[in-house]
Amino acid sequence: MPRQAHSARFVLEQLQVKCLETYLPPSGSVSTSVKGNWMWGTIALTDHGRALTSSFAALCLARTGNVLKDEGIMKQGRTQYAVALQSLQQALYDPVLAFQDRTLAAIRTLSIYEHLAPTFARIPTSNEHEVGMAQWCSAAGPTHVSSEYALQVFEDLRWCIMNRSIQRHESSKLGTREWKTLPWQHYPKDCLQNLYDLGFDLAALLEQVDSNTNLGNTNASVRKMEHLSLGCLKISKNLEHWYTCNWASQGRVQSDVSDDRQAHGLSLSDQPLRHELGELWQGMNIIYYWCFKLILNGILSSLLQQTQQQEELIASVQDLDLSADIFSNGQAYDGYSPASSSRDFAQKQEQLASDSLKLAIDIVLVSPFFLADDTGWLGPQRYFFPLRQAMEHLGKVGSPFQSDAKTASVRLITRLRAC
């Protein structure tokens, strides 16, 4: 290799390391189980291929240039980005390269670049690559995720596709049984990935709810609502089972931050204690658990509003327990009693609203944990979606905590721009 080319490669490798040091949390502050570490594995690959080499260079150059405020480095990043797009297209049309690990990694790297790079086309192009990731998975099939490196990349893009599915109320092929099992045939599946399984279930339920709105008061609509309510029940029970298996034994209570901090007069400006959420990977588990419960509460509230006059349906969801014994009446699921009055219905709605508000406030109050410097870019990235859900709920109910949510949002954007 010519000396000049060797020198340029050395400089690029140093920039890549610098970029990852800002993207990922310091090694001492986060467990190695946090996914996203596939980027370190990318550097260690012996054969990157042109698409991954250029896409990874584009990301690292763009972000390093942004941190250093160096337009020259950022321009090099844009040049590499153009090369990456062309190279990726060529790889995707190549029957040999299309389903290789490094091609999957190139797709994910470009989607991260487009979320981070300050370009006018950022939102449209990032959406295209999110769709592209889902299409790659659909075309490749779950058995193509066979190596440990490919699994780490897949788990990272799986999180991205799950968020998109929930936000758009669309089911995903990644929510099918084969996609929930086959990629982990040879490697253990951690609790966060098991939680994401429920996220895909939630997206499918939202899609069903949307397709069954405004059905009227026919018997068919009652049966549809009963079916959707059973879907709520199933996800709710699975969420509680997930929590019991993974966190209850560690002494963590469900959604306790707002009670504890309000009791002591604390607010968003106070740094939360590290033990409240543990390490970053633990915080990611808890924040998405709260987020899913908040979304599920919203689905049930909507169903109840649509069926207030249908006592048969109200009875069918009476035993749903979403975190605060909302419909607890001491009876088993197969022994419902009908709702006795509109007052009973109102009480259930009030309890559901109270639980949802508490979850949204908790999500906002832990923002200093996810936005701390030692969480890298990964902390704000993983916090973005739950905060968005909390902000939507607080805005809808007109909570005074809207101002705290807006403050957290500004801090989050500031942190992302600083990385």
Q: What is the mean pLDDT of each run of 10 residues along the chain (419 residues)?
A: 54 72 60 60 83 91 82 90 94 91 91 70 56 84 88 92 94 94 93 96 95 64 80 93 80 51 47 60 92 94 73 51 42 42 72 92 93 86 94 93 92 82
Tell me the one-letter amino acid at 303. Answer: L
What is the residue whose two structure tokens read 């607010």?
267
Q: Residue 354: what pLDDT?
A: 92
Q: Residue 280: what pLDDT?
A: 85
Q: Residue 286: what pLDDT?
A: 92
Q: Residue 16: what pLDDT?
A: 74
**What are the φ and ψ backbone dihedral angles of 189, each rounded to 5 degrees?**
-105, 120
Q: Which two tokens stand for residue 265?
A: 């007069």
Question: Which pTM was predicted?
Answer: 0.83
Cβ atoms of 133 and 160 within 8 Å: the answer is: yes
> What is the chain's length?
419
Q: What is the CA radius of gyration of the chain?
A: 23
- Which three-class secondary structure state does DSSP give residue 122? helix
Q: Where are the alpha helices (DSSP H) in 247-326?
A: 257-263, 280-306, 311-316
**What are the φ and ψ backbone dihedral angles of 211, each rounded to 5 degrees?**
-80, -10
State the Cα–Cα distance between residues 162 and 172, nearest whole angstrom: 8
Q: Residue 126: what pLDDT?
A: 54
